[in-house]
Amino acid sequence: MKRSLTIVILCAAFGIGGYWWMQRDTGLPVKQPLRFVSLAWQERSIAANKEIVAEWNAAHPEMQVEYIQGTWNSAHDYLVTAFETGDVPDIFHYESSIIVDYAMRGYLTDLSPYISPSMKADILDVAWATVTRPNGEIGGVPFLIESLVVLYNASLFEQEGIVPPTLEHPWSWDDLRAAARRLTKDLNNDGVTDQYGAAFGLRSSANIVMNTSISFGGSFFVNKGDHFAVEVHDEEKQLLQTIVDMLYTEKSAAPASIGESGAGMIPALFSGRCAMLIGIGAWGRQQLMENAPKDFRWGVMPALKAKTQMYGASTQTLSVPKRSPRPKEAMQFIEFMLNTQNMARLALNDWMIPARRSCLTMPEFRDSIGGWDITTAAVATLGVGSWLGAPGYVEWKSRVANPVLQELFAGRMNVEAAAQRIERESNIVLSRYRKRGDVW
C-alpha cells in the first residue's frame, strides 16, 4: 500500500500533463513554468518583453512563466519539430502568414473559447481577420500590425521645393516617381549620380511586392477550388514594371536597392545618397530616431495610391500549441501580456502599430514625432491578402517569389519573362499542396 501511494505521488509530481516537478526545498510538487518563446529582436523590445514577464511572475508565484529567446531565422524549423515531437512551448510569438498554415495542420489550440469579450472587442477587425478561420477558430492573438511606409529626407525635399504628401492629400505612384526624378542628381557634374530620388530594399522582395500589389488591384494568388494557383495579370505586372522602370529607365532608384534590405538602405538615407526609402517596415523609424545625424530631418508618407491605398496586413501573434497541456493558463498570461498598457509598451518599443483600438487613442500613437500619427492612420488602408491561408505559401516565397523577383530586379529578365516564370514555378510548388478545409 505504501509503495502504491509513493507511485501515485510520483505520477502526480512528474506525470500528469507533464508539467509538475518536485520543489527542492519542500519536496512538494509544484507546476513547471509556462514556457514562452519570444521573437523580439530589437534591444528595447526584448527588454519590454522581459519586464512584462517579470511583472507577471511577481504577481503570480503559483503560475510562473519562463522567457525563452527565439530568433526569426530559426523559428519555423524549431516550431515544426516541436509540434511533431510534442516538446512544445506553451506560448509562442510568430506571424499571421505562417500560423494560419499551422492552424490548418491542426498544430494550434483554438483560442476562441478562451479570449475575453473585452479583448475580442478591442482588437481591430482587420487584425482578427489575419488569424480567424471561416469556422471561427482563432489560431493566435494579434498584437502588432506590420505596415510598409515611405520614409523621406525632409531637407532634400525643401531644397527641391517639393511639398510632401499629407493624410488629406496622399501621393499617387506617379507623384512619387515624378519627385524621385527631380531628386535624382549628379551633384558635381562628373557624369555619375550622387543622389538618387528613391531606394527600395529588394533583396527579399516578396513581402513588399505582395502587400503592395493589393493597391494596384492585384493578388497573385487565385482560389482554384481544392488548391491555389498563382496568376500574374496586368495589375501585378504594372507594379513590377513600375519598380523596374525606376531602376533602369528613369534611373531614379538606387541600384544598391537590388541587393540590400530596407534596413540596409537607411545609411544611404542618412548620407543623402537617396531622398526616399520606399516599402520599409514601420519599425525602420526606430533607427532614424536613434541613429540619425543630429541635423537630419525626416518624415513618413501616408500610403501611396495606385488604384486604391489598400495594402496587405500582416500581424505578429501569440499562439498556444494544441499539445500544450495548459491552454487556459497560457491564455491568462496572453491576456495580461497583451492588455492595453502592455500592448502599447510592446508596440512603442517595436515601432509597429498596436492591434488594440484603446492603444490607438493614446497620445503616444497620435504624435507627429517619429511619424506615429501617419503610421497608425494606415490601419484604415489595410486589408487581408488573398494568399492568407494558402497551403505552401511559406515555401512559395522562399523557392519561387524571392529568387525570381531578385533576377527581375537585377535586370536579368523583363517583366513578361518574370511573370511567366513565376506562374510556371509557382504552380509546380503549389500543386503539391491541397486545402485542409476552409481557408481565409
Instruction: Decide: 270 and 298 in contact? Cβ < 8 Å.
Output: no
For residue 49, give the CATH number of its domain.
Answer: 3.40.190.10
Q: What are phi and psi of 156, to 5 degrees?
A: -65, -35
Instruction: Please check whether residue 170 is in contact with residue 140, taking contact to mean a CB–CB distance below 8 angstroms.
Output: no
Angle between helices 327-337 and 43-59 (to 10 degrees): 120
* 133 phi and psi angles, rounded to 5 deg: -80, 160
Note whether 226 and 257 are same-domain residues: yes
Looking at the structure of the chain, the number of domains it has is 2
CA gap 23, 29 in Å, rounded: 6
Q: What is the pLDDT of residue 436?
A: 56
User: What pLDDT sits at residue 22?
Assistant: 44
Instruction: Specify if 11 maps to a domain.
Output: no
24 in a domain, yes or no?
A: no
Tell me the residue range of the domain where 276 lies. 148-312+389-430
Q: Confidence band (pLDDT; 50, 70, 90) for 2? A: very low
pLDDT tens figures, 205-231: 999 999 999 999 999 999 887 778 999
Beta strands at 382-383 and 311-312: parallel, antiparallel or unpaired: parallel
> Which residue in 123, 87, 275, 141 sits closest to 199, CA to CA?
275
* Pair (190, 282) in one structural domain: yes
Residue 113 shares a structural domain with residue 164: no
Decide which of 245 and 20 is more confident.
Answer: 245
Say what the pLDDT of residue 17 is.
39
Among 159, 165, 196, smallest CA distance to 180 is for: 196
Instruction: Give, to the nearest 10 degrees, the angle between helix 402-409 and helix 415-430.
Output: 170
Grid coordinates representing 157 are: 525635399
Residues 287 and 394 grouped into a single domain: yes
Report the run of H or E that residue 421 belongs to, with start and end: helix 415-430
For 337-366, write each residue's pLDDT tens digit. Answer: 999 999 999 999 999 999 999 999 999 999
Whether residues 49 and 181 fall in one domain: no
The answer to whether residues 308 and 319 belong to one domain is no
Asked if the structure places residue 218 within a domain, the reply is: yes
Are residues 89 and 186 both part of a single domain?
no
Residue 15: predicted pLDDT: 34
CA pair distance 367, 361, nearest whole angstrom: 11
Q: Examine the domain organization and report whether 90 and 142 are in the same domain.
A: yes
Residue 333 contacts residue 198 (beta carbons within 8 Å) = no
Largest CA distance in the chain: 96
In this structure, are 284 and 253 located in the same domain? yes
Using CB atoms within 10 Å of the CB of residue 111, give its burial: 0 to 12 exposed, 13 to 18 middle, 19+ buried. Answer: buried
> What average pLDDT does the segment 26-54 reach?
87
Per-residue pLDDT reduced to its tens digit, 416-430: 999 999 999 998 998
Q: Does any domain span residue 183?
A: yes
With respect to residue 134, please indicate whether it lies within any of the assigned structural domains.
Answer: yes
Residue 115: phi, psi to the nearest 5?
Answer: -80, 130
Q: What is the pLDDT of residue 30?
A: 61
- What are residue 91's DSSP bridge partners? 36
User: What is the Cα–Cα distance from 72 to 8, expressed in whole angstroms?
Assistant: 42
Q: What is the pLDDT of residues 171-211, one digit of tens each?
A: 999 999 999 999 999 999 999 999 999 999 999 999 999 99
- The Cα 244–Cα 258 span in angstroms is 10
CB 375 within 8 A of CB 147: yes
Residues 168 and 247 in one domain: yes
Residue 21 lies in a domain: no
Are residue 257 and residue 363 in the same domain, yes or no?
no
Residues 270 and 411 in one domain: yes
